[in-house]
Every structure is written in C-alpha cells, then in structure tokens.
Structure 1
Amino acid sequence: MYKLFLTLLVCLLCTTGFAQDAIVYSPDKQLMLSVGVTNGKPLYSVTYRGKPMLENSPLGLLTNEGDFSTGMKFLGKADSSIDKSYTQDRIKTSQIHYVANRLTLHLENAKQKKISIVFQVSNNDIAFRYEMPAWNETLACVVEKETTGFRFPAASTTFLSTMMDPMAGWKRTTPSYENPYVADAPMHKANRAKEGYIFPGLFRIDNNGWVLISETGVSSLYCASHLSEISADGVYFIEYPSPKHNNGFGSSGAAISLPGVTPWRTITVGNNLKPIVETTIPFDVVEPLYLPSQKYKYGRGTWSWIVWQDNSMNYDDQVKFIDLAASLKYEYILVDALWDANLGKERLHELVKYAQSKGVDVLLWYNSNGAFNDAPQGPRNKMNTSVERKKEMKWLREIGVKGLKVDFWGGDKQETMRLYEDVLSDANDYGLMIFFHGTTLPRGWERMYPNFVGSEAVMASEMLVFLQSVRESEAYNASMHPFIRNTVGSMEFGGTFLNKYLVKSNRERNERLTTDAFQLATAILFQNPIQMFALTPDNLTGAPSFEIDFMKQVPTTWNETVFIDGYPGRFCVIARRSNDRWYIAGVNAIKEPVKLKVDLPMLAGKKVKLYNDNKSKVTYLKEIEIPKNGSCEIEMQPAGGMVITQ
C-alpha cells in the first residue's frame, strides 16, 4: 500500500507540474525567498517573519535567441555567501558591511539553452538578476522583454509615481521622473497609468509590513526599466522603455554581449519603515566602473536662477551670488542656463577667476543635446558627441570649472544610458563632477561612477516657483522623499527657500506656504553630496540670523542615517550624522500639529539646539536637554518642521 501511495504521488506531481523549489534565507533567518519552476514557468515568493510579502511572482526573459519564461526546466542550484565591507562618501552612510546568502538557480529552456538567476538575500533586502552564458557560437543577444513580476497580497496599498508620457510636457522634454507620488492608493485604480510607474515603488502590505521595489546597476550595457500598470491577475511587471522615448530613436530593449547579465532588481522588506529608509542595497551589489581622476570636493552652493530666474544670467547678478556663497562659506555657485549667450566664454572666464578669488568654485549648466527635445536654452549640442564634449571639457578644465549640471534627458533606452555613461566617464578624465536634471533615477551610480554627484528625478524646487498646486503640496511631497525617491539615490532638489515669496522682489506673489523650520529641515532630510540651496542675497539681512548661521554650518555628506518616525505623506523624522555631530530633522504634512515621543539615544543626556515653530508658525531657536533615557517629546506645526542638533 505504501509503495502504491508513493507511485500515485509521483504521478500526481508530474502531471501537475510540481514546483522544484529552492529556498534561501537572510542571515538573520527573518526573510525567506522561495523559487522554483511550475508547469515550465519560473516563480518566486517572499515572506518576512512568516508573513507573505510577494506571492507566486513570475520570472523570465524573452530574447531574440529564445524564450526563457515558459517551457523552462530546473537543472540545479548552487549556494554561497557574501561578506564585504566598503566605504562610500556620497550616500546616506559611509561605512557599509554587506552580508548576504546567495542562491544561483540553473535553468534550461525548451531549446536547451541555459540561463541562471542569481539571488542575494541580506537582512531586509533581496537583489536578483539574470545571467546568460554564451550559447555555443552565439556571442550576442537582444533582450526584448522581461516577464519578471511582483504579485503583492490583495490588501496591499501603493505609493507610486506615474511614468510621464514620452516627448510631452514643456518643449517635449519628458519623461523626467517629475510626477508626484500618491500615498496609500489601491493597486487596482479607475484611472490606469498607461506608461506604468517609475522606480522606486513603495507598497504597504496590509498590517504585515512594507516593500520597496527598485533596480540598480544600470550602465551603458542595458536599458533602464520601470513597473507596468498592474495586470488583470494582479502582477506588476518589469517594463522596458517606451519606443517613443528619445524621439523614437533607439531600441527599447537591451543588446548585450554574451556572457552577459541584466541589472539587479531589488526588493527591500520590513515590518516597519526603518529598513526602507536605511537600505543601502542599490550600492551593495554594484562596484566602481573606473577610478576617480582626482579627489572630488562636495559641499553647498548658491544659484540665482531658482528665484531670480533667466534675467539673472548676467555678470553683475552672478557676482552677487558669488559674494553670497563667500559670505555663507559655501564651496560653489551654479551658473545656470543661457550663460553662453548672456556671458560668453571670455566673460565667463573672468567670472570664474572672480569666484576663485572669493574661495568659491563654479559649476556650469549644459543642455544634454538637441536631438530628443526642443529646449532652446544653451549651451546645446556640446554633450552629445565625443568630439565636441572632449573639446568643451578640455576648455572647462583649463579655466577652472569644477562640475556640470546636464539637463533635459530623453528617456530610459540603452542609447541614453550610453550617453549618461559617456558624459560621466569623459568628465572624470577632465576632473569634472556631474549631476543630472530633467533625468532618470540614478541606479547605483554614486558607487559606479566616482564623479557622479546626484540627479534631480523628482518634482523639485523649480516647480514650487512655477505652480501654486505644488506649493500647496510641498509638505506632503517632502514627507514622501526619504521613504521612496531619496532612499535609493542622491536627490538634487535645489531647495531651502528663506524668501517668503518665491520671486526676486520677495513680495506679492508665489507665497511660500511652509515655515522656515520646515525649510531648514529639508536641508537635512534631502540627501545629495552637493546641495544647491535656494538662498538669495537679501536673506543675509532679511532672515533671522540664527537661520543663516544654521545654513552656514549645514553639512551635505553623511556618515550615518537612522529612521526615527513617520509615515509617507503624513510626517517624517530622520537622524543623520556628519562626523560626530547628529542632526534630527522632521516635517509635518498633515493639517493638525503632530505631537511625537521619539527615542534619540544618540543625544541622550545632551544639551542641544531645537529649531521649531510656535503655534503662529514663527520659527524659533532654543536650547533644550534630552533626557538621559533618550526619550524626547516634539511637536511640529502643519506645514512646519523641526531640527535638533548638537
């Protein structure tokens, strides 16, 4: 009877396509990934502390050399572990110890072509990618599509930002990752996102916890991707760029040399938001692609354009902002768009010399090119070809410019990823730092490219100047960024306004609706190694002196980041350490005061400075002492904030 039972069981398993499972745990055993093949389809699932986070989610690739999503056969697996430590000077923490268990799953398709899927599972993080060998004499492949998907439990809610329509918006400059995030939305929505959703995406898994989805390791060797709209059966798929990106130029897939790999897909999991805010997975699984040509200097900068706009692109106004930077002891001034027409190269050289005489270095704006947008601002067509780019960068090095802001990128195709990398690599040869605007999300680039110093890829400060609706939602958006956009990559926001009105006259229109304490807090909450602050010369006399003193001392690089409290779209409190000095910053996005009891063990028993708002929303500074147990009560006013620092 027992033998008959076994025979029937084997027959049943064979006819139902029984999954041949492999399981890998995180080092602390709390996070489990299960993967196998069912009815010829690779599937995986994720649990955290025994609770489901992702269920029966598909894996696979479609290539011009074969289908690796169906008809798959399980060949075997290999287990190993990773233990590495590294330092990184441009992210939320400087010393990282990455420990993970590694599972390599070996599969074969119906045509007996092999492929591997590599999973690395650390405490709270999963990274996985596809690895393709050379198939006999086949040494090149085009990956046309992925069937990688994410199936969340049915009660989950989303914190997502829609991918912008290609070749739309102002002067056909989209997509530029500048749509806002929507908090706690249902997965199935009445208004579907036809272009899908950008990375990263945050999901609340009922009462079980949180999941952050993103990707890292995208270079010139692949396209960037995003999340599709949810399918009828509840799956978000990896989706490659729309064919309309880059004005329709270039493939939407990825051409790779074999053996080759895809970028890493990342999943960060926690029963609270602490692992989401503190994750370093975008950097843990990538390595530098080249060495820095010199030691790059980070810091603070002024820029006239954000408040004084295009009319400030003249020599006299730029001198005023150089003098402002010198007064604040800032390292940089950004000379923005139109300098080529309004100043010219000779006058710009004079401006650079003047700035250097004041101890200030110059960063310059460039249009990425004119082939996939209609933005008229110059300099144009200096960054898009190797010959012009190297001539321009040689001149920039000769006159002492230290870095470039390159704006108006056309999409996520591999063609564009090559241009990003070419600009970064060439700039390093000439000792130039690079940050991008009108751009895609950085995907591990702080570690991969040593002269990369941040990207916009967010509805940033300029939209506060242009739109009343964005000013009204400023606190809401700010409370999102540390949990989503800024947790996976540096975010060049360009904020901290101390003007009451966001115009040169500082009166009558474009009223700022957040408090000064809120603005000071965002200087800490928003992480980027070079921060262009929106201060203006009249702030030196018009703003309270204690606020200017704070802005003179605020750092832009961090040794440690700790989540304190918050909920995206409502409020946020995080702590950052620069050397031995802690800064605790918070903002409130709801319409009532937020009263919190927070634990600050790093400041226990110490006297500290508190920047906060009274009930009239006037910002004040006072000294307080944190109790010896580290527990502290704080209150933040609506559209207000607070900073505690040593």
Structure 2
Amino acid sequence: MKTKIIKTKAIVLSALLAAALNVSGESVSGPDGRLVVDVTAQDGTPVYSVTYDGKNAILPAPLGFESDIDDFSKGMTLVGTKRSTIDKSYTQSRIKKGEIDFKANVMECTFRNDKGHEMTVEFVVADNDLAFRYAVPTQGPTSAIRILDEKTSFRLPEGTTTFLTPQSKAMIGWKRSKPSYEEEYSHDAPMDTTSKYGNGYTFPALFNLNPEGLWVLVSETGVDGRYCASRLGEFRDAGYEIEFPMPEENNGNGTSEPAFALPGHTPWRTLTVGNSLKPVVETTIPWDVVAPLYEPSTDYMPGKGTWAWILWQDASSNYEDLKTFIDFAADMGYEYSLIDANWDKNPGREKTAELMRYAVSRGVSPFMWYSSSGYWNDIRQTPVNHMDNPVVRKKEMKWLKENGAKGIKVDFFGGDKQETMRLYEQILSDADDYGLMVIFHGCTLP
C-alpha cells in the first residue's frame, strides 16, 4: 500500500510538472495538423522546434537578435500569445501558379526581459509551409533600432544531407564582380562539409532529412529597403545561423547591419517541409506572406525575346547584328529583343535610338542593358553610373520611354547590404513611373 501511495504521489508531481512546463510553451499547427511549431523560452533564450507527422524537422533552435538597444536573444520570458487565421485567395501572372488559395494559422509570441524590452515572433503555419519574423515595438522613448546580429538558427537531425550553394567571397572573380550568385550547388553533402569559400550559403537551402524521411527548404522573403538580405552561416552547434552581408561587399560601401524605424519588423524566414519534394517544388510561400509595395502603373506582360549577346558576347554590340536579332524577333512573333552591354559605345547612343525606333516599327519592344553602378566592381561594360544615381536614372528612363524601350536589364549587384536592397527598390519604383519592366541580373534572391 505504501508503494502505491508513493507511486501515486510521483504521478501527481509529474502531472503538475508537465502542466507547469506547458504553461511556459506554446504550439501552433497548420490547418491539417501535420506541421507543428513549438515555442518556449529555455534559460531565457527563445527557442522553437518543428515537427511534421510527428517527425523532427527542426530540432530545438535559438531565436532572437542582438541590437543597439538590447540583447533580445537571452534573459527573455514568454509573456503572451495571440492567435489568428489567414484565409485568402490571390492571383499571380509570373510564378508557377496563377490562382493561389492560402490558409494558415498564426501565432504571435511576445517575449520580454527584465528591462521591459519586448519583441514578438510571428509564426504563420500552413499545411507544408512555415514563415516567421520578428516584430519590434517602440522601446520606451526609442523609435529606431539597429540589428547587430541575428541568432535565428536552424538545427537539423543528425544524418541530414544538404543541397547548398556557397556564398562567394566579396570583390573576387571576374572584374571583382562577386558575389554574382552563380556559384554551383553541392549535392547530398554532409552537414559538416565546409563551404567552398568558408562564408556559408546563399538562399534557398535544401536539406534531405534522411533519418526522418523528410525534406526541408529554408529561405527568406519580404526583404525590402528596411533590412539586408541574409544567408546561412557555416554548420556549427548542430545547425546553421542567419548571417548578414560581409563588410567587404559592395566594395565596402554601406553597413552590414540593418536598421529600421520602430515599430517595425524583419523579413520572413521560411521553411517548406514534406515527406517528398512535391511541397518544395509547389510552394508559393515567398508570395503568400507578402503584399505588393505599390500598385503598378501598367499591366506588365512578360513574353519571348531574342538576345544577340548569347552568340558573340560583347562583339555582338553593333548595329547590323542587333538589327538582325530585332528582325529575328519580329519574324518569330516575339515581343522583345534585348540590346546588351556597350550599346552606348557601339552602335552609339544616336544609332541605338534609331534601332529602338526601328524595333517598335516592327512590333518588337527593346530591353536595354545597364551596369548597376560604377563603384563596386571593375566592370567596364557600359552604360555605367546611371542606375545608382537618382537624377541620372530618371533622365535616362525618360529617354528610354521616348524611344520605345519597354524594359531594362540591370547587372552586377555586388552584395546583400541594406543599401543594395534600397537600390533594387529605387530602380523598380522609378522604372514603374516610366512604364518600364526590369530584369535584375547578377542579383540576390528575388
């Protein structure tokens, strides 16, 4: 009898302990209940984990960040949770799916330290997709924040293999134009393999969780001029951590540490999880959790085009060859023809304007090449120093519109800093004012 009483007390204590632990943590699942995110604070560190069909996708991994205000990665307590749902439909004309129905459950977990500083981690969980970001309110009288280091991490089960592309060192390669985001992917490599340059990996990152029979795709979305683009660091501490751009990127111009006004938020970190590659191939999460920054001035239509440079590279920049490819586009019924680098030298600006008008007369719209800047690589292909200068850029876009251009191809972006993200936005916004489409080349993840 005594043994039974002791056993009963042990059961009661275990139940009380489990109840206490449950109070300090929260969970949210996707609509079908298979993808589950657990969130808690362990010894003051915000931590999350992810399972799919009860199998480990992300092992308990730290969250948070260090900032000029405070360290939001330690000494934190989970003090509140809000829940909601998303059920929306939208259309897209430029991605893998035209009509998208997105349903997800949302959990917002607020963490606070003993100074009263707060951050909220917002989780959006669909059937196979997870997106999360940090939302930061004003902190007392402080209405601006600089993020010094993100502690966001992804810890994967032992035995996982990787499909990753290395982040290049800055200011190396042809004409010191790297990173140009054209490095090769490794296939099925162990997690502890050091990347080619020792600088971690460019998004997106694919993982085969062999012991669990799962696939996980890690990426980001919602990056804009209020933050930098990020990457995964080298494998350490059983996983990978978010890292910011290297100081050497963009020839040292701009800070590696993003800053934004408060209240504000960081970009979304995304995970797609499934028992096969089907959810990875079909995911629309990069678009599901973002909204257009502005209403476009016109209904831009992608289409087919010709490109003389593909055959003779820079030597193809001459009047006759460019005209031949414009005629080729017209004969094939294609909408566009790309006039690539050095057109302002050969055939020259006046003859190129003549070519552009000729293209329009044949029902073909020209796209025109530009270097992104003139100060973060040694590229000599022209035009340079046009797209990075707002005064010159707007004058140039006015000239393009007057001569029948329908788009620009802007090349050789030299890094992922917040300054570069602002340049992407500025080019897109100004181009929209003149009804121009934009191709970014040598650029980061869209």
Alignment TM class, shorter chain as reference: over 0.9
* Structure 2 partner of 1:521: none
Matched, 1:256 2:268: no
Matched, 1:209 2:228: no
Deviation readout 1:258-315 (Å, 9 max, x if unpaired): 0000000000001001000000000000000011111212101111101121111111
Closer/same/farther in 2, CA of residues 354 and 199 from structure 1, 3 Å limit: same
Deviation readout 1:72-99 (Å, 9 max, x if unpaired): 1110211110001111111111111110
In the TM superposition, residue 7 of structure 1 has moved relative to its aligned partner by: 9.8
* Structure 1 partner of 2:392: 388
Deviation readout 1:179-228 (Å, 9 max, x if unpaired): 01111000012666521100000000115110000000001111000000
- Report if the CA contact (8 A) 1:365-1:405 is conserved: yes
- Once residues 197 and 36 of structure 2 are traced to their aligned partners in structure 1, the CA distance between those partners, rounded to angstroms, is 31
Matched, 1:88 2:88: no
Aligned pair partner of 2:363 in 359, 379, 385: 359
* Letter of the structure 1 residue corresponding to residue 235 of structure 2: I
* Letter of the structure 1 residue corresponding to residue 234 of structure 2: E
In the TM superposition, residue 110 of structure 1 has moved relative to its aligned partner by: 3.5
* Letter of the structure 1 residue corresponding to residue 222 of structure 2: G
Aligned pair partner of 2:328 in 310, 314, 324: 324
* Letter of the structure 2 residue corresponding to residue 97 of structure 1: D
* Structure 2 partner of 1:224: 229
- Once residues 381 and 331 of structure 1 are traced to their aligned partners in structure 2, the CA distance between those partners, rounded to angstroms, is 28
* Structure 1 partner of 2:59: 55
- Once residues 129 and 199 of structure 1 are traced to their aligned partners in structure 2, the CA distance between those partners, rounded to angstroms, is 16
- Once residues 410 and 417 of structure 1 are traced to their aligned partners in structure 2, the CA distance between those partners, rounded to angstroms, is 11
- Once residues 297 and 54 of structure 1 are traced to their aligned partners in structure 2, the CA distance between those partners, rounded to angstroms, is 40
* Letter of the structure 1 residue corresponding to residue 181 of structure 2: Y
Runs of at least 5 residues in structure 1 that lack an aligned partner in the other structure: 443-646
* Letter of the structure 2 residue corresponding to residue 354 of structure 1: Y
Runs of at least 5 residues in structure 2 that lack an aligned partner in the other structure: none
- Report if the CA contact (8 A) 2:166-2:196 is conserved: no
* Structure 1 partner of 2:430: 426
Aligned pair partner of 1:301 in 290, 302, 305: 305
- Once residues 229 and 192 of structure 1 are traced to their aligned partners in structure 2, the CA distance between those partners, rounded to angstroms, is 10
Closer/same/farther in 2, CA of residues 421 and 156 from structure 1, 3 Å limit: same
Matched, 1:269 2:277: no
Deviation readout 1:78-125 (Å, 9 max, x if unpaired): 111000111111111111111000000011023220110000000100
* Structure 2 partner of 1:572: none
Counterpart secondary structure, 2:381: coil
* Structure 1 partner of 2:439: 435
Closer/same/farther in 2, CA of residues 10 and 107 from structure 1, 3 Å limit: farther
- Once residues 133 and 22 of structure 1 are traced to their aligned partners in structure 2, the CA distance between those partners, rounded to angstroms, is 21
Counterpart secondary structure, 1:324: helix
Counterpart secondary structure, 2:202: coil
Closer/same/farther in 2, CA of residues 10 and 74 from structure 1, 3 Å limit: farther
- Once residues 183 and 325 of structure 1 are traced to their aligned partners in structure 2, the CA distance between those partners, rounded to angstroms, is 38
* Structure 1 partner of 2:79: 75
How many residues get paired? 440
Cα RMSD of the aligned pairs, angstroms, is: 2.0
Alignment of 1:231-246 (within 5 A): 231=236, 233-246=237-250
Alignment of 1:488-527 (within 5 A): none
In the TM superposition, residue 12 of structure 1 has moved relative to its aligned partner by: 7.6
Counterpart secondary structure, 1:342: helix
Aligned pair partner of 1:119 in 119, 123, 130: 123
Deviation readout 1:329-366 (Å, 9 max, x if unpaired): 11110000000111222111110121112111100000
Matched, 1:415 2:419: yes
Aligned pair partner of 2:175 in 157, 171, 177: 171
Closer/same/farther in 2, CA of residues 202 and 263 from structure 1, 3 Å limit: same
- Once residues 71 and 190 of structure 1 are traced to their aligned partners in structure 2, the CA distance between those partners, rounded to angstroms, is 32
Q: Which runs of 4+ in 1 moved over 6 A?
A: 1-4, 6-14, 16-19
- Once residues 191 and 258 of structure 1 are traced to their aligned partners in structure 2, the CA distance between those partners, rounded to angstroms, is 36
* Structure 2 partner of 1:108: 112
- Once residues 66 and 426 of structure 2 are traced to their aligned partners in structure 1, the CA distance between those partners, rounded to angstroms, is 28
Percent identity for Structure 1 against Structure 2:
52
* Letter of the structure 1 residue corresponding to residue 350 of structure 2: E
- Once residues 268 and 290 of structure 2 are traced to their aligned partners in structure 1, the CA distance between those partners, rounded to angstroms, is 9
Closer/same/farther in 2, CA of residues 264 and 171 from structure 1, 3 Å limit: same
TM-score, structure 2 length as denominator?
0.95
- Report if the CA contact (8 A) 1:337-1:379 is conserved: yes
Deviates further, 180-189 or 16-25? 16-25
- Report if the CA contact (8 A) 2:167-2:199 is conserved: yes
- Once residues 110 and 148 of structure 1 are traced to their aligned partners in structure 2, the CA distance between those partners, rounded to angstroms, is 21
TM-score, structure 1 length as denominator?
0.66
* Letter of the structure 2 residue corresponding to residue 197 of structure 1: Y
- Report if the CA contact (8 A) 1:77-1:106 is conserved: yes
- Once residues 242 and 323 of structure 1 are traced to their aligned partners in structure 2, the CA distance between those partners, rounded to angstroms, is 45
Alignment of 1:368-383 (within 5 A): 368-383=372-387
